[in-house]
Structure 1
Amino acid sequence: MKKNSGGILRPTSLRGSGLRRSGTAALLGVTAATFAVPAIAQEVEDEEEIQLETLQIEDRAADVNPYTSQGAPYKARVSADPRRVKPLAETPATITVVTETQMEEAGTTDLKEVLRLQPGVTIGTGENGNAFGDRYIIRGEEARSDVFVDGLRDPGMTTRESFAVDQVEITKGPSSTFAGRGASGGAVNAITKSASTDYSFHKVDLGVGTDSFWRGTLDTNWALGENVAIRANLLYANQDVPDRDPAYRERWGAAVSGLVRVSEDVRVQLDYYHLTAKDRPDLGVYVAASDENGYGETFDDLPSYAQDEDFLKSDVDTVTGRIFITPMDGFEIVNSTRYGESHNGYVATGARGDSTGGSISLSTHQGWQDVSYFVNQLNVIGRFETAGLAHNLIVGSEYSDHKVRNGTYATTTQGATNCEVAGWGGVRPAYCITDANGEQIIEDGAIRSLLQRDITKGSWDSLWHMRTLSFYAMDTVDVTPWLSLNGGVRADAIDFALSTYSASSDARTDYYINDTLWNGHAGVSLKPMEELMLYFTWSTGSNVNGGESDLGSNCGYGGLCVDQNVPLSAGKPESSESFEVGAKWDLFDDRLLLTVAAFQTTKDDVYETAGRGSDYTPSGSLNTGKTRVKGIEIGLVGNITDRLSAQIGGSIMDAKVLDSYSDANIGLTLANFADNQVTGQVRYQATDAFAFGVTGTYKSAMYAGQPDAAASYNAQIGRYTFRVPSSTVFDAFAEYKFNTNFSARINVQNIGDEDFYTAAYRSGAFLYKGDERRGTITLTGRF
């Protein structure tokens, strides 16, 4: 009997060819993936249950998420990160887990959409604020570089898909002990599907829907004996953005996992992942600046202004190898190595308003990025007792080498201008879609060919290279059955180099930073009763100046913050400190978890933009900012009754700038930060075969501004300059199981066809628009 990397114990009796037939094995898969309804439960009476001291071990089907609580597919029982040594109900941190079942039933496919439905998380602009892909903000802090796959940092800021994902784990609060540099507000860890020697299985999903929606996935696992298995997940998807022609999204991907059991004590796993994402992006609608009469008008009915030549394309390839060794009882060694590359580029069209009237003209936004990434991570995990104390000790090291080349596209417009607008730089010819009175002056179909761009790939403008050597140690000590202590420390030795190049002046500038970042966490957990845990925890995070690789030395986008009059060596790492007190109550035999947490995170020595010189020489402010986010988050996940399951969460937060290079920023909220959020997904098993559910999301208003800094504010009128309106959006789904092998699911996204917006462009002007109503039907076959 062996322990896998996720902390799930699986009897040897489930391995081998004996369960490759469609009978008991298939029924076990359906049982674990849905509620244990009576008709199915009657057919799996042979399910084994072994009692070994105080540890209960249950048979599980290999074709479902191995980390969930059995019979409660919305509730993850453990984290897939082996460094999280306790079940989630006993882990002293706020960790939200979205399982594969939740993602499938909600109809969410891109990781961006998965995270949008979570409390405490907002979605930033996917262009320019982060120029190359998805961007996430957790508890008010940037997390676009804090995305991990199976515990290893994900190379490149790309489009991310869920077709090969078992679950998504969102850690809230600074977590640099686990994640390394960054992770000021939290981190995202996607857990991929792995090959299993338990038995062979195959699952096919075919989806079709409105707005030319097509999606097909294949999940196939081949158990080639007791010691070898291969699993493949394949994807093709294509869809128009609802009612925003000519915008569209296209995906094709493959994830292949191979497993070899060298012996009872050694397993080797090799994974390959590829994704190509090709979009014609829609940058949303125009929003006017606030004035003395109120917040600016949002032009909800503005047609899509994406041009025929626009594109956003990502290619991602990664290879990951893992070795799992159990040298003796109570000890495990996990060594993981990954090499990855991504190639990303975009030319997109934005909206811009005339400063003297209501004309809306078009603007160009573009850039490309090539990324290569190597990492090796070693974890040694020991579970033992000394002097009556039970230890869960982890000692680890990590080396990473991350290289980024950024550049631009040269774009020229062949289309004729049709207006003149006033703005920065004076009056100039432009391409307008509305006149000064806000009336549309060009037909919808003609807008897409208004600019007629010629696009060529230009030279690089920044070379970013970060090498990091890390060592960490952490321990969870069970002092008594009701008292546990936990703590850890991590050192990240940073070797950072950045070169910027200006083609116009043929000038190159080189920057270097060598530093060591120290971070830690500590906490105490009390269990006044077996099902209830109370905890207090402290944690830190830090990031080196220039820690974001998006735009070189542009401090305003998270790049290297420099000043013409201040030496670079004068800067200090940004630092975050968090305090959290909470409770977790595990109910109904591990099938329902209630959580509540109060927290405060303070970020100090924040790099801010003080502006640019007249010659566009990069300038900035070193360590002039300080921010604070505090709040309460409540969660409920699992089975409320035998037929009703849910994941419901809510957060009430307050963000404030405590210090800044400008006194006018002090007291303001952070950009793209929602004070109040409520999200929920509820599922009801009406009959043995039929289930239905609804997903709802409420987010309060947000305001545009620079990442990790104060939202733009007009002191003369006493209002934030650009406002993202609050929104409430509902989705619905229904599923019918025809028999053991076949089922169908209907999804309707945004059933009220609401106009809602996920983020504001950094300097205002346009809002990123959420999808309008879409209906899909998915047919699933399991064999």
Structure 2
Amino acid sequence: MATNKAVLRPRSLRRPVLTVAVGVSAALASSGALAQEAAKDTDSAEDLGVAEYKDYTADSNPYTSKGAPYKARVSADDRLTRPIAELPQTLSVLTETQIKESGYTDLARILDAQPGITVGTGENGNAFGDRYIIRGQEARSDVFVDGLRDPGMTTRESFAVDQIEIAKGPNSTFAGRGTAGGAVNLITKQASTDYSFTKASVGVGTDGFVRATADVNMPVSDTLAVRANALYAYTEIPNREPADRKRKGLAVSATFKPVDTFSLTLDYYGLRAKDNPDLGDYLLGDATVGERKPVKTPVYAQKQDFQKSDVDVFTGRLNWQLSDNIRLTNRMRYGMSDNGYVVTGARGVTTSVNDPNGAYDSFSLSTHQGWQDVKYFANQANLHIESEMLGGENDLIIGAEFTDHKVRNGLYANVNTGAFNCRTGTGAGTAFNAFCGLGPDGQAVDNLNTLLGREITKDRWDQDWHMKTVSAYIMDTIDLTSRLTVFGGIRLDHFMFDLGLQAADLTVTRYDFSDSFWNGHLGATYKIGDVGMIYASAATSADVNCGESDVGTSAGYGGCLVLDGQISGTKPERSVNLETGTKFNLFEDRLLLTAAVFQITKDDVFEAAGSGYVPDGTGNTGKNRVRGFEIGVAGNLTPAWSMQGAITVLKAKILKSVANPLNEGKTLSNFANFQAQFQSRYQFTDDFAMGFAIKHKGKRYGGQPDTAPAFTTLPDNSYVYGQPVPAYTVGDFFAEYKFNKNLDFRLNVNNVTNERYYIAVYRSGSFLYRGDARQVVGTLNAKF
């Protein structure tokens, strides 16, 4: 059948070609083509009468739809060869404009607002960096930058980001191991020889907030361009000083494009993040009758506490158009990060009757610490072959990838030189044996933030994790008719793993094994008229034994499952996602409506050794399932009204647990059944715009990944979960005023009603991470 060009988008529109990137996928060629395309449409943009859209220029995010700053048109991963509105999967995209107007800058706070994602604490005693759960599945190691995995538990920032792409549902065909619930891909900013600009922003606000950024693109010649992004940011955590956050960042990229068919890019990304972190409140009450509730706690973070990430990443990208229909792209990356933390936790206690002050309610302080050094190398090559088959467009991709990830975890030697000030436990003596944050009068003790008197030095390593992976894949998207398109992909991963454990006496135990696994993805779309389509897809993922780099042999947290002294003999954890949905791309590509229903079944789940399961030689003794639906919107309802948001309704169920059969039928830990988010912006005049955002998360319960939260069975055979995170709803506000084409001002008020809310809880209830209190920030933006 002949191709219907009125229905199928020309390839020049489906995959914009980008010249170079600050950490952007080399698989895309020049953004200049898109800029020229935008310039051709200047008159139509002017007709909108909206300043935001008049400014759709070459330095804007090249992936968005013109006239719709909250709507991404295409993915930056050019293995997704069709526009987002035509993909047979759920892909939520946060554009640069939407991120900036939200007022959030760290990835953890950006993703916390997104339906289908919850934020976790540092479980298993590990408080490293960012931790995410997507559709109920652990995803802390499933963060990518321009399509390459970003290993290690680091802090991540958005100052050099064009957009954030969240693929929901198992995704191992694209991403390799892991990605049972999905993956997060950060798309970094891009350079071009086609234009020159300088942008700078300075923000100041309450709680000592200061943030300054600069973005400079400079063509050195017709064939060479350089772009640099820089960041300095500091803020106290609202209403929780002396806890604070500090960020310094630099991203520099140079691209060489001697001819239109070839480009080479070299870039560097560096971030220095250091926090004095606040682990928030804690839960108190009788868990057996469901009376655990948050206790409002004074700030107990110690002056010497810290959580830091020092990140340095070097990337090379080659893009070579071998012929009219064949392209070769290659990305090579070497990265290092040094991460570490010494933080203070709190736990509710009633002091001993033998305390010199008598028994009284207080909270005791504890220490949590560790360091992590990460080194990694990755190379990914893709051959893109375009053709016409059966009368339709055919996009074939043959790819190979090699990764070498090394993560060494260790300890700090921490000596608390402060004097104990209370007694806990039931001992007969009256000597103080603990640090308490509240005195007998119920008030915070004097010098609470220096009570422990920490002296900290870096100590030995205790876990040396190393995984090499060789991967090969093939993907094909083909139009069988003018309305029916099929996507298919298959991937083989072979990995070689080694783990060293060093004990306190410096003896080292080593484990190693190797294995291979397959994954596949099959999807089909059918166009309805000129603006809609329906789709169905099936995709798989595989989580391998020892897949998480930070937890040693804690199998219940993604560490190694050791059976009879060996870590071989296990099968990968298998996830299968079945999804069907619809997408409508309205108002000349300016508004996208989506809806999907899905089911993720995870089988062969690792259950920790010693948990009581009957060994069968594999340890793959668990199974769980998540069902749900998601409705989303992104783009412009009118030329002046932008919006982005989604509603997700989920239900999780433990289907099998040999380790604890009583878990069967229960929900998953760290899992919210209902989540919603909506951000809206209205351009009242050419110069003035105003907007708001609202996010809601349902009640969750802390616990170990891939299993049920701790619970108590009541006499009537009902049950209550023990570590609840209350549901919350938080609203934000922003307004913008444009003085002229080069200068504008934005006011952000986040958490307008100053809600006390919580984003995550540690499984014991001793950490209950607070969301940020109200903060007001004004930002002046200049462009030259």
For 2:203 and 2:35, locate their aligned partners in 1 and report how far apart those are by CA, in whole Å: 32
1:298 match: secondary structure? strand
Deviations 1:611-646 (Å, cap 9, x if unpaired)?
589xxxxxx982121111110000011001111110
Q: Does 1:641 align with 2:638?
A: yes
The one of 642, 652, 656 aligned to 1:655: 652
Q: Give the aligned length.
A: 745
Instruction: Assess if the C-alpha contact under 8 Å between 2:288 and 2:711 holds in 1.
Output: no
The alpha carbon displacement at 1:126 in A equals: 4.3
For 2:402 and 2:350, locate their aligned partners in 1 and report how far apart those are by CA, in whole Å: 50
1:3 match: secondary structure? coil
The one of 321, 326, 335 aligned to 1:331: 326
Deviations 1:115-171 (Å, cap 9, x if unpaired)?
111110011114656532001110000111110001111132200000000000000
For 2:330 and 2:460, locate their aligned partners in 1 and report how far apart those are by CA, in whole Å: 38
Q: Does 1:474 align with 2:471?
A: no
The alpha carbon displacement at 1:713 in A equals: 1.2
**Amino acid of the residue matched to residue 732 of structure 1?**
F
For 1:774 and 1:92, locate their aligned partners in 2 and report how far apart those are by CA, in whole Å: 39
| Partner residue in 1 for 2:607 | 608
The one of 646, 661, 665 aligned to 2:663: 665
Distance 1:681 1:31, change over 3 A: farther
Distance 1:39 1:449, change over 3 A: closer
Q: Does 1:517 align with 2:517?
A: yes
Distance 1:133 1:127, change over 3 A: farther
The 5 A counterparts of 1:94-113 are: 94-113=90-109
For 1:7 and 1:449, locate their aligned partners in 2 and report how far apart those are by CA, in whole Å: 52
| Partner residue in 2 for 1:56 | none
1:113 match: secondary structure? helix
| Partner residue in 1 for 2:278 | 282
The alpha carbon displacement at 1:434 in A equals: 2.9
For 1:779 and 1:120, locate their aligned partners in 2 and report how far apart those are by CA, in whole Å: 33
Instruction: Assess if the C-alpha contact under 8 Å between 2:611 and 2:660 holds in 1.
Output: no
Distance 1:671 1:124, change over 3 A: same
2:130 match: secondary structure? coil
Instruction: Assess if the C-alpha contact under 8 Å between 1:290 and 1:719 holds in 2.
Output: no
For 2:119 and 2:705, locate their aligned partners in 1 and report how far apart those are by CA, in whole Å: 12
The alpha carbon displacement at 1:224 in A equals: 2.0
Instruction: Assess if the C-alpha contact under 8 Å between 2:27 and 2:330 holds in 1.
Output: no
Instruction: Assess if the C-alpha contact under 8 Å between 1:472 and 1:490 holds in 2.
Output: yes
For 1:435 and 1:706, locate their aligned partners in 2 and report how far apart those are by CA, in whole Å: 33
For 2:648 and 2:655, locate their aligned partners in 1 and report how far apart those are by CA, in whole Å: 22
For 1:576 and 1:420, locate their aligned partners in 2 and report how far apart those are by CA, in whole Å: 49
1:160 match: secondary structure? coil
For 2:502 and 2:290, locate their aligned partners in 1 and report how far apart those are by CA, in whole Å: 43
Out of 711-720 and 399-408, give the one that drifted further.
Answer: 711-720
Q: Does 1:679 align with 2:677?
A: yes
| Partner residue in 1 for 2:7 | none
1:104 match: secondary structure? helix
For 1:423 and 1:640, locate their aligned partners in 2 and report how far apart those are by CA, in whole Å: 65
For 2:501 and 2:285, locate their aligned partners in 1 and report how far apart those are by CA, in whole Å: 34
Instruction: Assess if the C-alpha contact under 8 Å between 2:53 and 2:67 holds in 1.
Output: no
The alpha carbon displacement at 1:566 in A equals: 6.7
Q: Which runs of 5+ in 1 are unaligned?
A: 45-59, 614-619
Give the aligned CA root-mean-square deviation in angstroms.
2.6
**Amino acid of the residue matched to residue 390 of structure 1?**
E
Out of 88-97 and 291-300, give the one that drifted further.
Answer: 291-300
The alpha carbon displacement at 1:419 in A equals: 1.3
The 5 A counterparts of 1:28-107 are: 37-38=48-49, 61-107=57-103
**Amino acid of the residue matched to residue 3 of structure 1?**
V
Q: Does 1:306 align with 2:301?
A: yes
Distance 1:31 1:292, change over 3 A: farther
| Partner residue in 2 for 1:758 | 759
| Partner residue in 2 for 1:219 | 215
| Partner residue in 2 for 1:529 | 529
Distance 1:650 1:43, change over 3 A: closer
Distance 1:12 1:542, change over 3 A: closer
| Partner residue in 2 for 1:390 | 393
1:419 match: secondary structure? coil
The one of 686, 700, 703 aligned to 2:701: 703
| Partner residue in 1 for 2:128 | 132
The alpha carbon displacement at 1:385 in A equals: 1.3
Deviations 1:418-470 (Å, cap 9, x if unpaired)?
1122399x99821111368x923514xx1101111111111000100000000
| Partner residue in 2 for 1:368 | 371
For 1:712 and 1:644, locate their aligned partners in 2 and report how far apart those are by CA, in whole Å: 45
For 2:324 and 2:106, locate their aligned partners in 1 and report how far apart those are by CA, in whole Å: 40
Q: Which runs of 5+ in 2 are unaligned?
A: 1-11, 19-25, 352-359
What is the aligned-residue identity percentage? 51
- TM-score normalised to structure 1 length: 0.91
For 2:274 and 2:222, locate their aligned partners in 1 and report how far apart those are by CA, in whole Å: 40
1:568 match: secondary structure? coil
**Amino acid of the residue matched to residue 649 of structure 1?**
A
Instruction: Assess if the C-alpha contact under 8 Å between 2:398 and 2:474 holds in 1.
Output: yes
1:680 match: secondary structure? strand
| Partner residue in 1 for 2:345 | 350
**Amino acid of the residue matched to residue 649 of structure 2?**
I
| Partner residue in 1 for 2:465 | 464
**Amino acid of the residue matched to residue 161 of structure 2?**
V
Distance 1:8 1:598, change over 3 A: farther
- TM-score normalised to structure 2 length: 0.91
**Amino acid of the residue matched to residue 304 of structure 1?**
V
Instruction: Assess if the C-alpha contact under 8 Å between 1:31 and 1:40 holds in 2.
Output: no
The 5 A counterparts of 1:399-478 are: 399-422=402-425, 429-434=433-438, 439-443=442-446, 446-478=447-479
The alpha carbon displacement at 1:547 in A equals: 0.4
| Partner residue in 2 for 1:57 | none
**Amino acid of the residue matched to residue 722 of structure 2?**
T
